[in-house]
């Protein structure tokens, strides 16, 4: 906000420092997440838990997509579980 009100060189430098710190923070968070995820996949591989291993690999390859639970009613129309049973 200081840079918006007063675009002086010191405020530009402060803004760049904050951006750099934020990028570094999120980069480290991502690195830790990926390390934990690969260790989890390695563990699944060692204990021969194939279903979770391939589910994790596909999450990496295709990106995460939440699972949807869909049931067809008597007419053949799709509806979600809470609607079907509610």
Total count of domains within the chain:
1
Could you give the residue ranges of the DSSP H alpha helices within the chain? 2-5, 9-46, 50-62, 81-85
> What tens digit of pLDDT does each residue of 39-71 get?
998 998 889 889 888 888 888 888 777 766 666
pLDDT one-digit tens code per residue, 4-26: 778 888 888 988 999 999 999 99
Residue 7's pLDDT is: 83
Nearest alpha-carbon partner for 20 in 30, 28, 10: 28
pTM reported for the whole predicted model: 0.57
Domain that holds residue 68: 2-85
Residue 45 CB neighbours (<10 A): 14
H-assigned helices in 47-85: 50-62, 81-85
Q: Please report the sign of the dihedral spanned by the C-alpha atoms of residue 52, residue 56, residue 57, residue 62.
A: positive
């Amino acid at each position: 906000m200081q840079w918006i009100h007063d675009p002086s060189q010191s405020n530009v430098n402060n803004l760049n420092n904050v951006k750099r710190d934020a990028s570094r923070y999120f980069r480290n968070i991502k690195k830790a997440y990926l390390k934990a995820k690969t260790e989890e996949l390695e563990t699944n591989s060692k204990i021969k838990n194939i279903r979770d291993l391939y589910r994790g690999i596909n999450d990496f390859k295709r990106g995460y997509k939440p699972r949807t639970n869909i049931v067809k009613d008597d007419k053949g129309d799709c509806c979600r579980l809470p609607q079907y049973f509610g």
